[in-house]
Amino acid sequence: MTSVVEKNAWADATAFESSIYSNGWTAAGDGSIEVFAPATGELLGRVGAASPEDVRRAAADAAAAQVMWGNAPYAVRAAVLNRAAELLLEHEQDFAYWLRREGGATELRAQSEVRGSTGELREAAATISREPAEFYPSLKPGEESYGRRVPRGVIGVISPWNAPLLLAIRSVAPALALGNAVVLKPDPHTPISGGILVAQLFEDAGLPSGLLHVLPGGVEAGKELVADPNIATISFTGSTEVGRMVGAAAGGALKPVNLELGGNNAFIVLADADVEAAAAAGAWSSYFGSGQGCICAGRHLVAADVYDQYVELVTKFAQGVRAGNTADEGIKLGPIINQRQLDRVHRIVNESVDAGAVLKVGGKPDGLVYPATVLADVKPGMAVFEEETFGPVIAVTKFETDADAIALANQSEYGLTGAVHSRSRGRALGIADRLRTGMVHINDVTVKDGPTVPFGGMGASGNGGRFGGDRNWDEFTEWRWFTVNDLALPREL
């Protein structure tokens, strides 16, 4: 097949071989990380692996640099964010190259991620012109009493591999815009698109030195980032398993922590839905990004009256999805990120089939490529119903009543997002109001995001709508109370 992915010198990762970004490009303390293309196993480059000492040094330097930045006029900070957005669009193809080669993203996903990241940068720049303030009554004549938001200091950002650019920028941009410094640890699977290029982007946008440190690294670097006393807040996006550990460690250090974790999202199709439209939306929700997204649909809950039709439609959809190396033309389903994750997806499918689920299509991996898969007759208790698959698998479960659908949807420790399809707006909203999720979409896909919305989940999916628009004031700043008197008055004990 013909490759449709190109790069230019701006996105040449060999320029940063064995480097981290901390007050400029510097040698890493823990050697290097090799970056491979999941579709082919090709070695794409090497980046520096940060040591715990690198993290400590970066955190201290960031804390020193933040004081000046936190007091800079908002227009100065906004100019850097807006310039970064301009550069990101200017180099859209370079970022897309790495998202496709390093992470296995399709052309559509790479484009969506770059443009979504641009939106995050622009919204962050706009947010700082809307600083909240509160005035309070005072018992003293002539005294002013008010509260305003101030930066927290240094934000530690730990970002994942499945949307490496967007899920880094989503925290880095508002944190910087609101006057903080940032230490970013991108996932070692995608340290270029999720880290190295982010550093280059902000450097070229004119961000002063010391305010952004990009430290690819492993578990020890992550632990040090959470523990370091110069890090005021942790923003973590990743698996629920690791999120529990990050939350526990941050809590022990009395640090605020923003957790956006996994999901096993319910896609509900009522008997009065437009079944063809619902099936297309459901398949898209499960297969976008090879299903490797916390907001992808996991469990398809379908009314008995339209169950057979729905299964037939999503099976036909799956049969038409071309899977393979996303560097090749026409590929719509890319590789799973690594062998361990592919083995996990395959285990969940096989265990579910052994338990009575019916494999309609797919289920046979080719290297790291897992084909679009449909499982019918899925029941609670089966692995594919209970676990977050994080792969391109549709699991279809039949229900009889609306109450059954609600009970099945809520039968999960996760609570990130969901969708309800019905021709009755009121009926769909009535069900949506009873779902224990942070987000829900009527007659649409589950894979929805935006820079202005409160993005986040409940339960094992995280600690609420932590990202987006004015919610970022809550996450990356804190209230400070001021009182102002013209003169100090004498006091007596």
Q: Which residues are catalytic?
A: 260, 294
Structure tokens at 354: 């052994």
Q: 185: closest CA among 221, 151, 232?
A: 221
- What lies within 8 Å, CB to CB, of 445 at 6+ separation is 281, 284, 285, 288, 297, 419
Geometric angle at alpha carbon 130, from 126 and 135, rounded to 5° = 170
| Helical pair 74-90 and 92-103, crossing angle rounded to 10 deg | 70
Pairing type for strands 144-151 and 477-484 reads antiparallel
Among 211, 277, 224, 190, which Cα is nearest to 52's?
Answer: 224
Phi, psi of 395 (to 5 degrees): -115, 115
**Cα gap 313→279, rounded to integer Å:** 6
- CA–CA distance, 468 with 139 (Å, rounded to integer): 37
Residue 56 near residue 224 (C-beta atoms within 8 A): yes
Type and span of the H or E element at 59: helix 52-70
CA angle (119 as vertex; 118, 122 as ends), nearest 5:
90
Main-chain dihedrals φ then ψ at residue 195, nearest 5 degrees:
-150, -65
